Amino acid sequence: MRPFTYERAADLAQASRLGLETGQGQTDARVQFLAGGTTLIDLMKLDVLRPERVVDITPLRSPYATIEAGPNGLRLGALAKMSTVAEHPAVLADYPAISQSLQLAASAQLRNMATLGGNVLQRTRCPYYRDPSWMACNKRTPGSGCAAIAGFNRNHAVLGVDRSCISQYPGDFGVALVALDAQIELSGPQGQRRIAFASLHRPVEGQPHIETTLMPGEVITAFQVTAGGWARRSLYLKVRDRASYEFAIASAAVALEMDGEIVRQARIGLGGMAYRPWRAHEAEAVLTGKPLTEASAEAAAAAALGGAVTHGNNAYKPELGRRTLVRALMQAKTMPVATRKDC
């Protein structure tokens, strides 16, 4: 780990001010925010991230770690711990996909440390990115190439990729958020704003070193999810190489509003497949207004993975992704969902 200056932010305004030095790119940023530290410290030890200054925002926890649930929806403070949110009664009852995505992530120890904001900003687990001895990594060194394309790429992305990067987004919580149409609240030197969570992560577009649409000095302060029957009939299904403490090779977050057998609304996120949290709009369109059957679920899954691009070792992924989505849809169909008068 290289020498760096450590500072504790007294308030959000100070954190944003210090963060102005981050610049647009993320891997080469001179300033990094520290919350749970479960990703940042690892990457600093690996010499992948080399910040000159680390700004600790944990002193801001009190106002930005709240969990508020009511008739209009769920609001989660960005500094709330993953474990706290996963076990919250309202999240368990009315937003099960969120609870499941957090419970299935990482280990119990990490969930007790990691924050929601840090979790959605975690970096890829691509070994070529995390090992600086590999020179060709456009995410670390723009213009150097992508060693994964011709290398061992079994766990790499098949959706949303181009020749500049085929790395896979590793998160679970972000997949649930994109499926549930979540909004995020941001605060920075230019004030506060709210954007769709789906617009937080940038498409690769030949610039994988620029990962998000955050502006310099901007901090995620909260996540907002609207209440509804589709949120209660939601689940997160994760397929991985081992049963615990492992990243998804395929996952699906599904939220359905049903009228008997008919799908009135379908919201679908895919994980383990894509460069960023992936909303499967094509699959949703196939299902909407039709009975949910094994055949319609398979048609939706085919639409969801229709644009997949494989590179050798990850050629198995589209089929696994299709099967995972079909399984998630059929499980969601049979979920017992209580009717709520307040929604």
Write out the two tokens for 28. 């080469």
Q: How far apart are CA 323 and CA 330, in angstroms?
A: 11
Question: Measured between alpha carbons, how far is 122 from 125 in angstroms, rounded to an integer?
Answer: 9
pLDDT at 20: 78
Give domain limits for the chain: 5-56, 229-333
Residue 202 DSSP code = P
* 334: three-class secondary structure by DSSP: coil
Say if CB 175 and CB 101 are below 8 A apart.
yes
Residues with pLDDT less than 50, the chain: 24-25, 341-343
pLDDT digits (tens, 9 = 90+) for 14-50: 988 888 765 544 666 788 999 999 999 999 999 999 9
Buried b (16+ CB within 10 A) or exposed e, 215-234: bbbbbbbbbbbebbbbbbbb
| DSSP classification of residue 306 | T
| Fold category of 229-333 in CATH | Enolase-like; domain 1 (3.30.390)
Whole-number Å distance between alpha carbons of 42 and 45: 5
Buried-state track 309-329, b at ≥16 Cβ within 10 A, e below 16? ebbeebeebbebbbebbbbbb
Half-sphere exposure in the Cβ direction for 259 (13 Å, CA): 8
**According to the model, what pLDDT value does residue 245 have?**
87
- In CATH, what number does 5-56 get? 3.30.43.10
Q: Where are the beta strands (DSSP E) in the chain?
A: 5-8, 31-34, 53-56, 67-70, 73-77, 183-188, 191-196, 219-226, 234-239, 250-259, 262-271, 278-279
CB 327 within 8 A of CB 169: no
Written as one letter, the residue type at 340 is R
The Cα–Cα gap between 246 and 230 comes to 28
- Nearest of 66, 225, 250 to residue 158 by alpha carbon: 250
Which is it for strands 183-188 and 67-70: parallel, antiparallel or unpaired?
A: unpaired
Q: What is the pTM of this model?
A: 0.95
